[in-house]
Amino acid sequence: MKPQQLNLASDIQLEYLGPSVDLGPLPAVFYFALSAKDSLSLDPFNQPAVYLSQFPLRIFSITLPYHEEGKPATKGLTEWAVAMQKGENLLGNYLKKIQNAIRLLLSQELMLPNKIATMGLSRGALIAAHVAANNAEIPYWLGFAPLTKLSYLQGFSDLVSWDLMHIVDLLSVKKIRCYIGNRDIRVGTRNCFDLIEALVETAYQKRSLSPPIELRILPSIGHHGHGTAKETFHHGAKWIAKQLKVF
C-alpha cells in the first residue's frame, strides 16, 4: 500500500495509509518519524504504519521540521538546534500546524474523536507526546526509543522547556506505552525511565490506583543502542490497534 497525499490547507500537507478519506470518519493514528512519506514508506522506520495498515483506520504523518524526504535524520536534528538557538519557535510553530490539521480532520469528519492515537520514533516520540498531551480527543501515546529530554542532546542543553517532564500533568491522564533499549546512550534509557516513573506517580496522586502507563525495556541494538527491532515496532502497533478497538 502506497501513502496517499492529503492537502488540508495551503500550508498543511499530510500523507496517509488506509482507506480513502471519501469513506468517512475512522479511527486514526498520527505517526512522527521523518518526512511524511518516509515515515510511511521507508523501511524499517515505516514498520509501525505497515502493521497498522491491515486494520480499518488511517495512519497520518506530517513531515518533521528540516526532515524533508530523503534527508539524513542526523542533519535534520542539527538544523533544529541551529534554528532554536537563534530563537526560532520551531517546535511551537510545528505543533500549531499539527493542531490545525487535527481541527480540520475532525471538522471534515475524517477521523473519530477519542479514537485517535499518536506514536513516534525518537524525536518523533517527543512530538507525539506533546500532541497527545495538548488534545483531549487523543487518549493514547506510543513511543519507540523516545526522546523524552531534548536538553539531554548536544546542542540543546539550554532548551529545557520542551523536555517532557514539563508536561507530566497533562500526559499522566493518557494511556501510554514506551519501548527503549536497556543501554540507549543516544536519548538516555534513564531519562525515559524517570519520565515514566513521574507519570505513574502523578497519575496515582490523581487516584488512578493502577495507571495504564507502561515501559518495556529491551536489549539495546543499533548505533548507540538506539535502534528498534521490527518485532518491537509491530508489538507496539498491535497495542495501539487494541486500544482503538480495531484489532
Q: Report the predicted TM-score, pTM, of the whole model to 2 decimal places.
A: 0.96
Q: With the CA atoms of 11, 43, 112 and 141 taken in that order, what torsion angle do they form, in degrees rounded to the nearest 10?
A: -100
pLDDT one-digit tens code per residue, 64-112: 999 987 777 778 889 999 999 999 999 999 999 999 999 999 999 999 9
What average pLDDT does the segment 9-13 reach?
93
- Burial class of residue 205 (count of CB atoms within 10 Å of its CB; 0-12, 13-18, 19+): exposed
- Percent of the chain with pLDDT strictly greater than 90: 93
Residue range 24-73, pLDDT digits in tens = 999 999 999 999 999 999 999 999 999 999 999 999 999 999 998 777 77
Q: Average of pLDDT values for 110-122?
A: 97
- The answer to whether 237 and 228 are in contact (CB under 8 A) is no
pLDDT of residue 16: 98
**Quick one: the chain helix, strand, coil %, rounded to 5?**
45, 20, 35
Residue 177 has pLDDT above 80, yes or no: yes
| pLDDT at residue 219 tops 80 | yes
Question: What residues does each domain of the chain span?
Answer: 4-243
> 172: Cβ–Cβ under 8 A, 6 or more apart, which residues?
199, 200, 202, 203, 206, 211, 213
Per-residue pLDDT at 1 = 80
- Assign 205 a pLDDT band (cuts: 50, 70, 90): very high
What is the three-class DSSP state of 105?
helix
Model pLDDT, residue 104: 97
Longest Cα–Cα distance of the chain, Å, equals 46
Q: What is the spatial distance between Cα 236 and Cα 87, in angstroms, rounded to a whole number?
A: 35
Superfamily name and number for 4-243: Alpha/Beta hydrolase fold, catalytic domain (3.40.50.1820)
Report yes or no: 123 and 91 within 8 Å, Cβ to Cβ.
Answer: no
Residues in the chain: 247
Lowest mean pLDDT segment, chosen from 153-162, 177-186, 231-240:
153-162
